[in-house]
Chains A and B, each alone.
Chain A
């Protein structure tokens, strides 16, 4: 069984540009979660998609957005990049978005904003 895959592995952008990060969940998983892991700040919840709909978002500005495609893969877009957006962005999937489902994580995309 293939795990959660994220691309690209590394991404370097300059301030003000846009970044697009991609995630493919485990086959059969319908829920996709995005987290930001900045240095020293732990895991910050960004967005949750299930069955193609945004179900919840964390305390992030609107320039963080995303979508989930019919095949359940997902895309995270960050507009008007700021230096503090530099972080590891982790995607996770779960089979049906229920409380007793563990999350399965990808290895992340390291975004560096210069």
Chain B
């Protein structure tokens, strides 16, 4: 079975400062990795995904993530955050199990950007 760990439940950061949101996963098979963002009173939106190839993945809104297979991590980064980045961020792993998709989400990290 796979699992996803987001160690930081809340991350406060000043506007224009860099941020890293951590995600570690465990799985006995190869997985696909995703980051989603949830703004207040909305559903989740896809930020970026890692399927294969280059381990550095760029997403929307200036976010990027790096897949590290040896450390089983997929940390999300942004060099300079804006107030509008205040939201909750979810890491997810997905794999094919018995011919079907199985998705596991982390518990989420609330990013609070301080003006």
Which residues does A use to contact B, with CB under 8 Å? 4, 31, 33, 35, 42-43, 45, 48, 50, 55-56, 90, 92, 94, 97-108
Please tell me if the beta carbons of A107 and B41 are within 8 angstroms of each other in the complex: yes
Q: Report whether B42 and A107 are in contact in the complex, using a CB–CB cutoff of 8 Å.
A: yes
Instruction: Assess A90 versus B43: contact at CB under 8 Å? Given A56-B102, A99-B32, A99-B101.
Output: yes
Contact A108 B105 (CB under 8 A): no
Cα A55 to Cα B95 with chains together (Å): 15
Most A CB within 10 A of own CB, among B31, B96, B103, B104: B103
Q: A33-B103, A107-B41 are in contact. Are A102 and B108 (CB under 8 A)?
A: no
Q: Flag if A90 contacts B94 (CB, 8 Å).
A: no
Does B56 lie at the interface of the complex (its beta carbon under 8 Å from any beta carbon of A)? no
Tell me which residues across on chain B come within 8 A of A55, comparing CB atoms: 100
Chain A residues near B36 (CB-CB < 8 A): 103, 105
